[in-house]
Structure 1
């Protein structure tokens, strides 16, 4: 017999699983819908209630379950205590199900998953001594996940029954020994959040080590066409999916066929070496002549993991861009900014701004002729430069850019939305390189950006790569890609020299 332990999102308890529980019981399973300490009445908790409290709740429950097969289901925040408890009782757990949840690692706090900037600020810098934060109002649940599929009645019930969340459950880091890594896992993706199996396959193919684990044969995936609350919006489909997950079913992702990760593949152009100087997080590729020269600052995408080596400025692509700029008589600049998670855009923006000022202060650089060139997810960092471009910023470029937070990027501060900021670009020229084989989610942000720019009278020169993929400059070594890269560089150089 299989026993399911169901652990839900912040502010909710066992009641949220009622319809799913009934269906699992009818299928012959044991079911334990959990209400963690503090989420079923304030008298159960106090100032000391934290993530460790919730882990201990689950460990006690696991120790009391006799069923030979035990499946832990973590929904949203719930995956944190689930992983903590499974790490301590790994030999008892048959499978862990990530239900529209992140992939927290040892040392991660659930705070990183919170999209609402007001809640994040309150957790980081409390303005009162209360031990819990209030649940959202009816119109605030979207900050905690998509509400698509919820009927007005279900949303009203969610709001009515929600309980305050103890602060420490969101701020205390998860502690893992590594034992949980041996437990088979299943991911259930709610596609209304913007994520899909196809997107995960792209991430695995791209090669960053943190995603390659998803291609393990012990990892399965399912999709549900709904928002973040499938136990309320599609309980029958969720119950059926949980039974399939417990049986080991689910889509498997094929491991990458190329052992070399995408970020380590050769640059599109074979360029001679140029003198390179390293200043803190910044590398300068210097052209011939004393200068001062114009400069192009290249801003890598992300997020990436903090321990990824080599860091982006040593990836072949960014070494190539730096050399390419120097070969054209301008200073090429690469910068290792700290976009290590979706909540890090403010920190990364500060890193990029500091790098630009460092470059402008260099006597070999013409401080009045600078361009900033963004890539992929790093393009959200273009927001402030578009909203209020300084006079010395002669051009802003973006290659295969993400120009608004994707639906699945709920924890990104909405401030970082270039599609909303481009109307302030005024006379700032923009050079945008667009991949024809871009994912639909990213392509939609580019389309919205171009419409807004046109309405605002902003000059955008679009360079198309019709048969190019996201990352075409390392993935697609074709004449079409070479021509597009040269057109984009020449456009940026024209604005720098004008």
Structure 2
């Protein structure tokens, strides 16, 4: 018989697990849905001293009281912090830790760092600094979306979420998590909610980038599941979640493969393109055509976030080198820059990097500064919003390839970075959009939102479809269909620069 300890996220309590706990119980499992001090219907037990350590002690006491020799601990969202803290103190009693749409906090990380919405994050920081503020009110009905996607939650359950939510003790979010390292040796399962912007493909890409934070995920004791729902699967898909938890407890789930010697982003470009002279100025590379007069330029903006210590940096990735050379071979200046989008909090800084790079390029005497295109890729697509919202006269085209065109639900960005809204102000600016058919569901939704808005405002959008293309197809799908799509997109952009 499996014993589960279920720990919910901020503002909630054990009540959110009612349906999941019932289904686990029907399978023969022993289930402990936890309401931590000061949360849920125990809100009257909180005080200024209620912090993360309080919640860790709650769970340690429960583990000590449970008769089963081992328990499976499930932490949802904020709940993973006290789960890890308690498991670190009682590792011999924990069979597995399940991260339910939760982050991977490390020693010294406060839960506040994982709050996705930067406006909420900053508000909590101000509350921490304000004397006498020791709790924060739960979100309103519309505000829950800022803490994670509410996709799939029935209206009645969402109303209950609002009605039964309780203030969160601020110290639970601001006190750093302290770990001895004992928890790192325990089996782990990640349950990713795809409508909230997380999926296995994204995790595999982060591992492939060489981010040291994700190396532990290759361990065969680590498994993954996906649920096609939002951030609160215990309310939206309780049957499916219960089944996944049982399978996780049994050690099932997807295992990440050890990255090949050549990760996907470092494989060869799908086209043979001639080499062109490349000049490097700071974070900017220029691929130069044979020309006796100033030429138009195409500035490529890579995706992300890309961890700061990844080597080589994006401007040396074969796909971007290939694009730069190809543009230069056709008579324009290809430009690639390394912007500093290393974390979700870095979009404003990355936007500044793009703007500075554009001005540097336009000032180059070999560039016709009145004929420039910006080409955004993947997560860099969000950086197109500023340019769509107020296109300067020299911007002749915006292109986007498998882009994210609205912030993913768990990214917590301001509306500044929402091209799906900004496109309504783009006017006659030509837009070339390359769309892949095998896109992740969460990203495909943002593209759909963008195209709907573009149609409503009669924006000039050319869509180039690759029905069998993957995200990152330039180094994955060496098909004739993909090669034709790249050629068509490049020539479409250059056509707008020449007109």
TM-score of the superposed pair, with normalisation by structure 2? 0.86
The alpha-carbon deviation at position 150 of structure 1 amounts to 4.0
Give the Cα–Cα distance (whole angstroms) in 2 for the partners of residues 109 and 224 of structure 1: 27
Identify the match of residue 352 of structure 2 among 335, 350, 367: 350
User: Distance between the aligned counterparts of 2:367 and 2:80, measured in 1?
Assistant: 49
One of 352, 357, 376 as aligned partner of 1:374: 376
For the residue of structure 2 that corresponds to 1:428, the secondary structure is coil
1:396 to 395, 398, 403: 398
CA contact (8 A) 1:396 1:428 kept: yes
Summarize the Cα distance change of 1:154–1:257 in structure 2 as closer, same or farther, 3 Å threshold.
Answer: closer
Q: Secondary structure at the match of 1:321?
A: helix
- How far has the Cα of 1:96 moved from its partner? 0.4
Residues 1:192 and 1:360: Cα distance change in structure 2 (over 3 Å): closer
Change (3 A) 1:352 1:328: same
Partner of 2:306: 304
2:17 aligned with 1:14, yes or no?
no
Aligned-pair distance for 1:236? 5.5
Is the CA contact 1:212–1:255 (under 8 Å) kept in the aligned structure 2?
Answer: no
Unaligned runs of 5+ in 2: none
Q: Distance in 2 between matches of 1:81 and 1:456?
A: 48
Alpha-carbon distance in 2 for matches of 1:54, 1:6: 13
Q: Which residue of 2 aligns with 1:200?
A: 200
The match for 1:34 is 34
Question: What residue in structure 2 maps to residue 279 of structure 1?
Answer: 281
- How far does the alpha carbon of each residue in 1:92-146 deviate from its partner, in whole angstroms, 9 at most, with x for none? 3210011222334455543354344542331244484412211012332222233
CA distance change for structure 1 residues 52 and 148 in 2, over 3 Å: closer, same or farther?
Answer: same
Q: Return closer, same or farther for 1:439/1:395 CA change in 2, 3 Å cut-off.
A: same
Kept after mapping to 2: 8 A contact 1:42/1:164:
no
Distance 2:425 2:301 in 1: 21
1:487 Cα deviation (Å)?
Answer: 2.3
Separation in 2 of the partners of 1:244 and 1:447?
34
SS of 2:98 mapped into structure 1: strand
Q: Say whether residues 1:137 and 2:126 are aligned partners.
A: no
Per the alignment, in what secondary structure is the counterpart of residue 417 of structure 2? coil
The answer to whether the 8 Å contact 1:204/1:256 transfers is no
Aligned residue for 2:372, secondary structure, equals strand
How many pairs does the alignment contain? 492
1:312-331 alignment, distance < 5 Å: 312-331=314-333
Q: Residues 148 and 321 (structure 1 numbering): CA distance in 2 closer, same or farther, change over 3 Å? A: closer
Residue 168 (structure 2) pairs with residue 165 (structure 1): yes
Name the CA shift for 1:179/1:334 in 2 (closer, same or farther; >3 Å).
farther
Asked if the contact 1:298–1:333 (Cα under 8 Å) also holds between the matched residues in 2, the reply is yes
How far apart are the structure 1 equivalents of 2:451 and 2:26? 52
Determine if the alignment matches structure 1 residue 242 to structure 2 residue 242: no
Question: 1-side partners of 2:401 and 2:217: how far apart?
Answer: 27
Is 1:96 paired with 2:97? yes
Give yes or no for contact 1:7–1:35 (8 Å, CA) kept in 2: yes
| Equivalent in the alignment of 2:234 | 231
- For normalisation by structure 1, the TM-score amounts to 0.86
> Which secondary structure does the structure 2 equivalent of 1:97 belong to?
strand
> Following the alignment from structure 1 to structure 2, what is the Cα–Cα distance between the partners of residues 470 and 232?
31
Map of 1:383 onto structure 2: 385
Task: State the Cα distance separating 1:57 from its structure 2 match.
Answer: 4.2
SS at match of 1:468: strand
Q: Is the 8 A contact 1:294 1:330 kept in 2?
A: yes
Query: Unmatched 5+ residue regions in structure 1?
Result: none
Q: Does structure 1 conserve the Cα–Cα contact (< 8 Å) formed by 2:217 and 2:256?
A: no
Q: Deviation at 1:424?
A: 1.0
Secondary structure class of the residue paired with 1:458 = coil
Tell me the residue number matched to 1:69: 70
Aligned 8 A contact 1:349 1:381 in 2: yes
| Aligned-pair CA distance for 1:349 | 2.1
Deviation at 1:466, TM superposition (A): 4.1
Moved more, 410-419 or 421-430: 410-419
- How far did residue 461 of structure 1 move? 2.6
Shift of residue 65, structure 1, vs aligned partner: 4.7
